[in-house]
Amino acid sequence: MLTIEFILLLLLLTAVSSLITLRFRQKVPQPVILIALGVCAGLAGMHVQLHPELFMFVFLPPLLFADAFRMPLREFGELRGPILFLAFGLVVLSTLLCGYAIHWILPVMSLPVCFTLSAALSPTDTVAVSSLIKGRRVPTRLLQLLSGEALFNDASGLVCFRFAMADALTGEFSYQQAFGTFLLVAFGGLAIGGIVAWVAARLNKMLTRSGYDETQSQIVLVLLLPFLMYALAEAMGCSGILAAVAGCMVVKLSGIVEDASTSTRLQSATVWTMVSYVFNALIFLFLGLQLPSLLQSAHTLVLAQHVGMWRLGLLVVQIYCIMLVMRFMGVWLSIACRWASARINHVPFEATGLAASLLLSFAGVRGAVTLAAVLSLPTGEDGTMSFPTREAVVVIATGVIILSLLVASVIIPLCLKFIPAELVDKSAQEENMARQRLLRAALDLLRKAETMPAIETLPETEEDRAAIEAARMEVIARLTKLYQTRLEQEDATPRIARADRRNAIRHARMELALRLQILRAERQTMRELVAQQDINDQTEWKLQQELDYEEEVIHALAQRLPKEV
125-155 pLDDT, tens digit per residue, is: 766 776 677 666 777 778 888 888 888 888 8
Three-class DSSP category at 561: coil
Of 32-36, 335-339, 421-425, 513-517, give the lowest mean pLDDT range. 421-425
Give the Cα separation of 450 and 510 in Å (integer). 34
Say if CB 317 and CB 69 are below 8 A apart. no
Give pLDDT, residue 505. 72
pLDDT higher than 60, residue 493: no
Of 13-27, 403-417, 423-437, 548-562, give the lowest mean pLDDT range. 423-437
Give the Cα separation of 128 and 439 in Å (integer). 39
**Alpha-helical segments (H) within 306-367:** 309-345, 354-362
Say if CB 138 and CB 360 are below 8 A apart. no
Say if CB 248 and CB 226 are below 8 A apart. yes
Give the Cα separation of 390 and 445 in Å (integer). 69
Give pLDDT, residue 454. 58
Q: Which residues contact 201 (CB under 8 A, 6 or more apart)?
A: 250, 251, 254, 255, 256
Give the Cα separation of 41 and 286 in Å (integer). 10
Give pLDDT, residue 135. 65
pTM, entire model: 0.82
Q: Which residues contact 17 (CB under 8 A, 6 or more apart)?
A: 30, 33, 34, 37, 281
Residue 161: count of CB within 10 angstroms of its CB: 27
Three-class DSSP category at 320: helix
In the DSSP assignment, the letter for residue 496 is: S
Give the Cα separation of 152 and 159 in Å (integer). 11
Q: SS3 letters for 160-208?
A: HHHHHHHHHHHCCCCHHHHHHHHHHHHHHHHHHHHHHHHHHHHHHHHHH
Q: Which residues contact 188 (CB under 8 A, 6 or more apart)?
A: 233, 236, 237, 238, 239
Say if CB 194 and CB 250 are below 8 A apart. yes
Give pLDDT, residue 318. 92
Residue type present at position 309: M
Give pLDDT, residue 500. 61
Higher confidence at residue 120 or residue 133?
A: 120
Say if CB 130 and CB 68 are below 8 A apart. no
Give pLDDT, residue 424. 47
- Give the confidence band of 371 by pLDDT, cuts at 50, 70, 90: confident
Say if CB 164 and CB 94 are below 8 A apart. no
In the DSSP assignment, the letter for residue 327 is: H
Average pLDDT over residues 184-191: 89
Give the Cα separation of 391 and 398 in Å (integer). 11
Three-class DSSP category at 4: helix
Residue 80 burial (C-beta neighbours within 10 Å; 0-12, 13-18, 19+): exposed
Say if CB 411 and CB 307 are below 8 A apart. no
Q: Which residues contact 326 (CB under 8 A, 6 or more apart)?
A: 90, 93, 94, 97, 98
Backbone angles phi, psi at 72, to 5 degrees: -65, 135
Higher confidence at residue 187 or residue 367?
A: 187
Give the Cα separation of 245 and 215 in Å (integer). 24
Give the Cα separation of 341 and 347 in Å (integer). 8
Average pLDDT over residues 241-247: 90
Q: 266-301, pLDDT tens digit by residue?
A: 788 888 889 888 988 888 888 888 888 888 887 787
DSSP character string of 37-63: HHHHHHHTT------HHHHHHHHHHHH
The top-scoring range by mean pLDDT among 36-50, 88-102, 328-342, 376-390 is: 88-102
Give the Cα separation of 73 and 67 in Å (integer). 12
Backbone angles phi, psi at 31, to 5 degrees: -55, -40
Residue type present at position 527: R
pLDDT higher than 50, residue 107: yes
Give pLDDT, residue 441. 83
Q: SS3 letters for 206-245?
A: HHHHCCCCCHHHHHHHHHHHHHHHHHHHHHCCCCHHHHHH
Give pLDDT, residue 422. 53
pLDDT higher than 60, residue 317: yes
Of 12-26, 96-110, 179-193, 412-426, give the lowest mean pLDDT range. 412-426
Higher confidence at residue 450 or residue 12?
A: 12
What is the chain's mean pLDDT, rounded? 81
In the DSSP assignment, the letter for residue 562 is: P
- Give the confidence band of 494 by pLDDT, cuts at 50, 70, 90: very low
Percent of the chain with pLDDT over 90: 9
Average pLDDT over residues 414-435: 69
> Looking at 88-166, which runs of residues are DSSP E strands?
none
Say if CB 57 and CB 241 are below 8 A apart. no
Residue 520 φ/ψ region, left for φ over 0, alpha for ψ in the -120 to 50 degree band, beta for the rest: alpha
Give pLDDT, residue 166. 82
Say if CB 219 and CB 268 are below 8 A apart. yes
Residue 273 sits at the vertex; the CA angle it makes with 271 and 277, to the nearest 5 degrees, is 120
